[in-house]
Amino acid sequence: MSRVCELSGKGPMSGNNVSHANNKTRRRFLPNLNDVTLISDALGKSFSFRVSAAAIRTVDHRGGLDAFLAKAKDDELSDKALKVKKEIAKAQASA
């Protein structure tokens, strides 16, 4: 399972551990990923995603999964999230 957020595209970063003696060794900063079930209002279905804590706050701030995906860039979304975005757009266009 990759350590990449399905909604924001946030992934691992690299940096240094710095000791008291100022020795530097490489390390990885991993995103805070959580398994979350989000509900689409347009489709009336729930979807499970592996999402960073920051993306969960952004989804809440924008007013839910539908509004978040409508504003999100396609290149940041995972294949699964992109399919959901297209389903939601199709449902909103027909309604």
pLDDT in tens, 14-45: 999 999 999 999 999 999 999 999 999 999 99
Residue ranges and CATH numbers for the domains of the chain are: 13-94 (2.30.170.40)
Tokens matching residue 89: 């757009």
- How many Cα atoms sit within 13 Å of 78 on the Cβ side? 16
Residue 82 token pair: 């992109």
Strand locations in the chain, DSSP E?
13-18, 24-29, 33-40, 45-52
**Distance from C-alpha of 52 to C-alpha of 58, rounded to nearest angstrom:** 10
* Per-residue pLDDT tens over the stretch 49-94: 999 999 999 999 999 999 999 999 999 999 999 999 999 999 999 9
